[in-house]
A and B are shown apart, each in its own frame.
Chain A
């Protein structure tokens, strides 16, 4: 891949400060994202994926605080920007398709005004006519009729609202789009179609996209690379094909084997045990109590995310690089 990454996250740490206790929700995360690439991030709820997304937008609210790290976008560390600079960066460089899309649109303002104000906030110097034309064109691109511009959110179906959110996210042609469980509120049939729309507009822009979710099927359909988060840490990042064919981390293996496969109607395996509380993380590798392969070393030493051949990375003591 090319050297110029769209977004480079280095050692990002986000914690919730409750009383005197520090809960590490995002613990030392490093990854890069390239133009046109779709990176899927999966993990159980509470694994830190939404906190990661909110911190990258700097929309995290107290008691969550960014404790360290960098996020380089367009040559600048956005975590160090001033308030006004960050405001300008949001949406023009970095946009969001939110998790709760059902309620993400202001119920009392017409769609066109909710789209126009994003443009006006960034002083592109467009005329009113240009803005209206642009909005109409965007709505068309996500498969909605022009008339939607004049509507209020309550007049739209869930799928239509999500399409509006997609149109909104590309309105300023950002270089990075963060989609936080973009289809979780929709029914299964609509999910695939909306996801396809999202992928299409992202490809047209050649924007980089982070897709956060827990639906492995949708990830397989969309993502180029897949990252797995567990208890605030990234435990594996691999290209999508090799992830499904040769998962590196034992947790990834369990995730894949828990998927219902279309060929053999096998029982859902599930993963034994549950994710540990972030307040009382186990020593060493946080996954070791649930890991079928755990050895003594796993209880003592926290595994680092190491590079393997084929652009794969994994944080597990037991992974040997087969290719090397």
Chain B
């Protein structure tokens, strides 16, 4: 039973990854005109800013990569093969650096910001949501949490802009952007770590503030259902202390559907976080994307899209693999 579950999850993971690569292959070819030719044209046009031999090199590299003279299915499999071994082609703006190199440099920042802020908002939101459904919760919970629910309707990056303006521009408490002070060199020291935390505080805060309400809202819904279950009546009949009933009986069970929705929501969360990076000039994937779009670095954009899907697919896989530890009945 458990094996079947793991195999199904792994298969789904690979399907998503192949799908992501396929999207990158098909969509440019579906568009009217010759988008690959158009990209090459654009490269030529921008040649003025580069050395002419490097421009020819790129064009040649692209031609070879896509094998444009080959039949379409050969093109597809070659593309798929290259993508799956992380050969995402050359970046235009960072030539001769390859797309995957730039992405791997940016990834830790995005994953760090995303993982920490999502974990905080998931944990806090689930707890608040559970408290809201709990009949013996302190009264202020009922008034205090709805504020966050309203906030959950606001996109991360819009709140981010407002937060930067207030805390960084007007009050000058925190830096305007970036991941660490310019001039410092990334190293493993307490000072650098503090600098990173200071820079990450506002982006993380804007993600946490706007997503905590979402988790609270969905947790409240699940919790209301769980509180009506027979095992809660028995737990109370057993004379268990409130704390034990709340955590081990009610919240523990309500968290299961919550974890499933975490897997589903990760895609949206990641998209939002990418845009937060733009607002904060945070050197993650989103910032890379923003610059790639501004310089028409098309293969970088494709690479970012692929990486986004990959990041989410990996996180979903991790959540799915953790799930059986939480729910002993996984054959469902």
Give the B-binding residues of A (Cβ under 8 A): 57, 59, 87-92, 95-96, 98-109, 117-118, 121-122, 152, 154, 165, 168
CA A98 – CA B253 in complex, angstroms? 20
Please tell me if the beta carbons of A152 and B328 are within 8 angstroms of each other in the complex: yes
- Residues of chain B in range 228-250 having any CB-CB distance to chain A below 8 Å: 229-231, 233-241, 244, 248-249
CA A122 – CA B244 in complex, angstroms? 13
CA A105 – CA B249 in complex, angstroms? 10
Please tell me if the beta carbons of A108 and B253 are within 8 angstroms of each other in the complex: yes
Please tell me if the beta carbons of A118 and B240 are within 8 angstroms of each other in the complex: yes
CB distance from A23 to the nearest CB of B (A): 20
* Most chain A beta-carbon contacts within 10 A, residue among B230, B239, B326: B239
25 pairs, CB–CB < 8 Å, chain A vs chain B? A57-B237, A59-B233, A88-B239, A90-B238, A98-B230, A98-B233, A98-B237, A101-B230, A103-B229, A106-B248, A106-B253, A107-B253, A107-B329, A108-B326, A109-B248, A109-B249, A117-B244, A117-B248, A118-B239, A121-B240, A121-B244, A152-B328, A152-B329, A154-B329, A168-B234
Complex interface: chain B residues within 8 A of A152 (CB): 328-329
With contact pairs A87-B241, A117-B240, A121-B244 given, residues A106 and B328 touching in the complex (Cβ less than 8 Å): no
CA A207 – CA B63 in complex, angstroms? 88
Contact of A108 among B237, B240, B244, B252 (CB under 8 A): B252
CA A98 – CA B230 in complex, angstroms? 8
CA A152 – CA B329 in complex, angstroms? 9
Please tell me if the beta carbons of B239 and A87 are within 8 angstroms of each other in the complex: yes
Please tell me if the beta carbons of A104 and B231 are within 8 angstroms of each other in the complex: yes
Complex interface: chain B residues within 8 A of A95 (CB): 237-238
With contact pairs A108-B326, A152-B329 given, residues A118 and B231 touching in the complex (Cβ less than 8 Å): no
Please tell me if the beta carbons of B239 and A89 are within 8 angstroms of each other in the complex: yes
Complex interface: chain B residues within 8 A of A107 (CB): 231, 253, 328-329
Complex interface: chain B residues within 8 A of A122 (CB): 239
With contact pairs A98-B230, A98-B234, A117-B244 given, residues A106 and B249 touching in the complex (Cβ less than 8 Å): yes
Whether B327 is near chain A, meaning CB under 8 Å from some CB there, is yes
With contact pairs A103-B229, A107-B328 given, residues A91 and B239 touching in the complex (Cβ less than 8 Å): yes
CA A72 – CA B211 in complex, angstroms? 51
Q: Which label, helix, strand, loop or mixed, suits the secondary structure of the B interface?
A: helix
Contact of B237 among A91, A100, A102, A105 (CB under 8 A): A91
CA A91 – CA B244 in complex, angstroms? 15
Please tell me if the beta carbons of A90 and B329 are within 8 angstroms of each other in the complex: no
CA A89 – CA B238 in complex, angstroms? 9
Give me 7 other A-B pairs in contact (C-beta within 8 A), A92-B239, A106-B249, A152-B329 excluded: A59-B237, A95-B237, A98-B234, A106-B248, A107-B328, A108-B328, A117-B248
Complex interface: chain A residues within 8 A of B329 (CB): 107, 152, 154
CA A66 – CA B31 in complex, angstroms? 72
Whether B256 is near chain A, meaning CB under 8 Å from some CB there, is yes
With contact pairs A100-B230, A105-B231, A108-B327 given, residues A121 and B253 touching in the complex (Cβ less than 8 Å): no
Please tell me if the beta carbons of A106 and B231 are within 8 angstroms of each other in the complex: yes
With contact pairs A59-B236, A106-B235 given, residues A121 and B328 touching in the complex (Cβ less than 8 Å): no
Closest to A121 in B: B240
Complex interface: chain A residues within 8 A of B230 (CB): 98-104
Complex interface: chain B residues within 8 A of A99 (CB): 230
Complex interface: chain A residues within 8 A of B327 (CB): 108
Closest to B229 in A: A103
With contact pairs A105-B231, A107-B253 given, residues A154 and B237 touching in the complex (Cβ less than 8 Å): no
CB-based closest 4 A-B pairs? A90-B239, A100-B230, A103-B230, A96-B237
* Most chain B beta-carbon contacts within 10 A, residue among A92, A98, A105, A106: A106
CB distance from B263 to the nearest CB of A (A): 18
CB distance from A161 to the nearest CB of B (A): 11
CB distance from A152 to the nearest CB of B (A): 4
CA A229 – CA B327 in complex, angstroms? 42
CB distance from B123 to the nearest CB of A (A): 18
Complex interface: chain B residues within 8 A of A96 (CB): 234, 237
Complex interface: chain A residues within 8 A of B238 (CB): 90-91, 95, 117-118, 121, 168
CB distance from A258 to the nearest CB of B (A): 30
Complex interface: chain B residues within 8 A of A105 (CB): 231, 234
CA A147 – CA B231 in complex, angstroms? 22
Complex interface: chain B residues within 8 A of A59 (CB): 233, 236-237
Closest to A152 in B: B328
Closest to A93 in B: B239
Complex interface: chain A residues within 8 A of B241 (CB): 87, 121
